[in-house]
Amino acid sequence: MAAYDKLVERFKKLHRLNHLSALATWDQAAMMPSGSNQARSEALAEMSTLTHELLTASEVGDWIEVAREESLDDLQKASLREMERQFEQTSVMPADLVKAKSLAASGCEHAWRSQRPENDWQGFSKNLEKVLKLTREEASIRSESSGVSPYDAMLELYEPGVNCQQLDTLFGDVKQWLPDYVQQATERHQSSHYEMPEGPFATDNLKALGQEVMTLLGFDFNRGRLDVSAHPFCGGVSEDVRITTRYRDNDFIESLMGVVHETGHARYEQNRPAETLGLPVSNGRSMGIHEGQSLFFEMQIGRSREFLALIRPLLLKHLTGGEELPAYQLNNLETIYRRVQPGFIRVEADEVTYPAHIILRYEIEKALISGDMTVSDLPDTWHEKMQQYLNLSTEGNYKDGCMQDIHWPLGAFGYFPSYTLGAMYAAQLFATIQNTIPDVHAKISSGELSVIFDWLKDNIWSQGSRYSTSELITRATGEDLNASFFKEHLKARYLTD
């Protein structure tokens, strides 16, 4: 058997085993009773050890060496490149560092769950220092192996091919106009009037509404489900995608858009290339491209006036028993779904202020990894940047400031930029679709969404990781990622009558 075929066999084996872990992780969040957590965590850790061994085994490195000399077609070459990337990124980390970081992170994250509500910066910072120290070690090892800077090496884990230089350019551009946009959009929102739909809403109705909207968006319920968890996510496997939401009996506004968002992730997963499924080359290209799909669904489609018009009859059907209430008028819904208001919390932020939260975190984590900043500098720097970007003070307010996110406690430095890259990808993709497909807006309001999704499927979803991120977006849109589409989108939606 050719070395490449041996690699295919090994990675497909890993795919099958990861199926069970992905399902158990979904179940842990969506189904599992709390008393089972220890047994579940031990089972997942055992499997993680086992798949780590299978991925980093010395024969895998040998097969890669040999396969490089084999006669492969273009897709196989891309496939080998992605196998190699996974192998290198995983095997470069010494086992004792993996274990030490995993222990420090799970300890920090566990304590953070109670420290955050107590605003306990002293307790938290000690744990975070340990996680940061180990992440710096990690970044330094990855840097040596890949030849890029330590922070760039961390970025590589989430956004292959993206580096600080590119981010500085993109985010530098955004910083030029964002404060003004935020101010204008906030003022416009403050002078608007709207009425919130009143509950109580029965869970069964909210669920039926969510499922009907997912069906409209092309979610394949024959290979996926919608369930409930404390923090909504898209999990499971490509062949069985499990998305979650949460229901509140007095508010459907954000949870419904959350379902739209996760459906974007889900469709990307459900439409990965079948012919290479199980191999790394079939994976979603990057976290940014993944977020690009969810934000395309939520921001480009979901919050558009045309989409709100399309789903308005479903809202009436499931939530008012068909009655036309003022809060469900199209103009009112549109105003609600376009509120802009600077706030402390990233996950509650609107589309306009969100990039400020991300740029702040990007600048801080870059400095934390390079050593230009220490954990003890964090609260002051956070406060200064919040003042500068959103005119808010977090002095002494750690829980709504630098303690709000789970990412750093978990050691996921380098992840945050993906969110705003995703917003930019979404805007650039939609701009291209607008230029490619006639009457896109009319098609949205009449529910002819499949023409849009087919374009995404052809140009993004079915491409998996065949191309580099830059090549993928250039092939799809004619140019590399460019913040101007995002700027134009925000301007059209929030600053234009």
CB of 221 to a copy of itself, least distance (A): 6
HEC string for the chain: CCHHHHHHHHHHHHHHHHHHHHHHHHHHHHCCCHHHHHHHHHHHHHHHHHHHHHHHCHHHHHHHHHHCCCCCCHHHHHHHHHHHHHHHHHHCCCHHHHHHHHHHHHHHHHHHHHHCCCCCHHHHHHHHHHHHHHHHHHHHHHHHHHCCCHHHHHHHHHCCCCCHHHHHHHHHHHHHHHHHHHHHHHHHHHCCCCCCCCCCCCHHHHHHHHHHHHHHCCCCHHHEEEEECCCCCEEEECCEEEEEECCECCECHHHHHHHHHHHHHHHHHHCCCHHHCCCHHHCCCCHHHHHHHHHHHHHHHHCCHHHHHHHHHHHHHHHHCCCCCHHHCHHHHHHHCCCCCCCCCHHHCCCCCHHHHHHHHHHHHHHHHHCCCCHHHHHHHHHHHHHHHHCCCCCCCCCCCCCCCCCCCCCCCCCCHHHHHHHHHHHHHHHHHHHHCCCHHHHHHCCCCHHHHHHHHHHCHHHCCCCCHHHHHHHHHCCCCCCHHHHHHHHHHHCCC
CB closer to a copy of itself out of 10 and 346: 10
The answer to whether 265 is a known ligand-binding residue is yes
Interface residue list for a copy of itself (CB under 8 A): 13, 16-17, 19-21, 23-24, 27, 31-36, 38-40, 42-47, 50, 220-225, 237, 239-240
**Residue 17 or residue 253: which is nearer to a copy of itself going by CB?**
17
Q: Tell me 301's DSSP state.
A: I
Catalytic residue among 138, 156, 262, 363: 262
- Output the smallest distance, CB 60 to a copy of itself, in A: 17
Which of residues 39 and 330 has its CB atom nearest to a copy of itself in the complex? 39
Active site residue 262: yes
446-471 burial by CB neighbour count: b if 16+ within 10 A, else e?
eeebeebbebbbebbbebbbbbbbee
CB–CB of 164/152 below 8 Å? yes
CB of 13 to a copy of itself, least distance (A): 6
Q: Which residues pair with 235 in a beta bridge?
A: 242
Query: 9 or 180: whose CB is closer to a copy of itself?
Result: 9
Write down how long the chain is.
497
Instruction: Kindly tell me which of 36 and 331 has the beta carbon lying closer to a copy of itself.
Output: 36
Residue 291, annotated as binding a ligand: yes
Cβ-based nearer residue to a copy of itself, 49 or 331: 49
Residue entry with tokens 């290209």:
285
Closest separation in Å from C-beta 235 to a copy of itself? 13
CB closer to a copy of itself out of 10 and 130: 10
CB of 465 to a copy of itself, least distance (A): 19
Question: Rounded to the nearest whole angstrom, what is the least distance from the CB of residue 274 to a copy of itself in the complex?
Answer: 11
CB of 19 to a copy of itself, least distance (A): 4
Q: Which is nearer to a copy of itself, 5 or 187 (CB)?
A: 5
> Do the strands 234-237 and 240-245 form a parallel or antiparallel pair, or are they unpaired?
antiparallel
CB of 244 to a copy of itself, least distance (A): 13
**Residues with catalytic function:** 262
Q: Which residues are annotated as a binding site for Zn(2+)?
A: 261, 265, 291
Please state the residue numbers annotated as binding site.
261, 265, 291
